[in-house]
Amino acid sequence: MADVLVVGELKNGELKKISKELTSAARKIADAIGGKVHTLIITDNVDAFAGDLKAVGADAVIGANLGEFSPEGYANGIFAVIQEKKPAVVLMPHSAQGKEYSARVAIKANAGIVADAVALSVDGGKVVAKKPIYSGKAYANFKVSSDIQMFTVRANSQEVTPKDGAGAVEKSGASVGEVRTKSLSKDLSGGNKVQLADASIIVSGGRGIKGPENWPIIQDLADTLGAALGASRATVDAGWISHSHQVGQTGKTVSPNCYIACGISGAIQHLAGMGSSKYIVAINKDGDAPIFKVATYGVVADLFEVVPALTSEFKKVLG
């Protein structure tokens, strides 16, 4: 039996969409290699999430109470579940937390790992992971040759396909084990209304907004669409907005369903952070801006005319 283990993720006590994405992707892999899907959620209330995960293919939903996030503690707990379930494939979120513990888990399991996959398929019984390389200028396919194949997967890169699994609920006795570091404090003051990594729509502003006083124009469109507010490095370096909003090679890497770039020229460093978006809408008065080479739809016009008009129309349509 070649089972697949998914490590899901919660935020503020709610199931993050990436948990469903990974479970749905795991279902397709398990069907191809002849195994079951086990989805692990770090919680003491696994019953609350079992139904949602069963509906997208989980044969078993496992709860492990590992307490407050700790990279070492989570790695120890996840590895304990791996030892128990002996999966052939492990899928983890390429999130802030996932990036902290995934490499530790791979080392403990003596497994190869591919990070930041945006597509998964099966060839000859092995998972093939597609991921961006060279700062997003190209894509490459990878296989893992170790007995356990591990992958971290970018949020919003996998389709959620309804397909019932058995949905059995299990409670694991996995513990955090020995933890040599601990979190002393957290500063969440820089958080966005909608987190960039999780957003299905992102509205970003660049140097073309001319100054920090014009962010409300971009924010209004983002709020209307229920989108996250993004920014180019130029605006962050100029001190117009905090780094927590930056999209690009030195900021957040995102993969939303729709990315709206307002006044962003499209430097390669920015494209590296959002080039895998499903649809890209570019608004820029410079028709030669590089952003138009990757845009699904382009508007060559003044953003100060286009963005308010878009916001007004969306408010009418969305109520």
**Given a cut of 80, is residue 159 above it in pLDDT?**
yes
The amino acid at residue 196 is L
**Given a cut of 90, is residue 26 above it in pLDDT?**
yes
Per residue in 44-71, pLDDT (tens digit) is 999 999 999 999 999 999 999 999 999 9
| Mean pLDDT for the stretch of residues 107-123 | 97
Of the pLDDT bands very low, low, confident and very high (cuts 50, 70, 90), residue 136 is confident
**Given a cut of 80, is residue 190 above it in pLDDT?**
no
Other CB atoms within 10 Å distance of the CB of residue 35:
19
Of the pLDDT bands very low, low, confident and very high (cuts 50, 70, 90), residue 181 is confident
Q: Residue ranges for the binding site?
A: 207, 232-233, 246-250, 263-270, 284
Contact between residue 8 and residue 94 where contact means Cβ atoms under 8 Å apart = no
Of the pLDDT bands very low, low, confident and very high (cuts 50, 70, 90), residue 188 is low
- First vs last Cα of the chain: how many Å apart? 51
The pLDDT of residue 189: 58
Residues 196-318: name the CATH superfamily. TPP-binding domain (3.40.50.1220)
Of the pLDDT bands very low, low, confident and very high (cuts 50, 70, 90), residue 155 is very high
Share of the chain above pLDDT 70, in %: 98
Q: Residue ranges for the binding site for FAD?
A: 207, 232-233, 246-250, 263-270, 284
Domain boundaries, the chain: 4-171, 196-318
Do the domains 196-318 and 4-171 match in fold? yes
The Cα 257–Cα 207 span in angstroms is: 23
The Cα 140–Cα 106 span in angstroms is: 21
Closest CA to 291 of 315, 256, 263: 263
Q: Specify which residues 171 forms β-bridges with.
A: 63
- DSSP conformation letters of 5-48: EEE--EETTEE-HHHHHHHHHHHHHHHHHT--EEEEEESS-THH
The Cα 195–Cα 53 span in angstroms is: 22
What SS3 class is residue 170?
strand
Q: Please tell me the class of the 4-171 domain.
A: alpha beta
| Mean pLDDT for the stretch of residues 83-99 | 97
Whether this model's pTM surpasses 0.85:
yes
Residues ≥6 apart with Cβ < 8 Å to 12: none
| Mean pLDDT for the stretch of residues 256-267 | 96
Element (H, E) at 139: strand 138-142
Mean pLDDT of the chain: 94
Class of residue 180 by CB neighbours under 10 A (exposed 0-12, middle 13-18, buried 19+): exposed
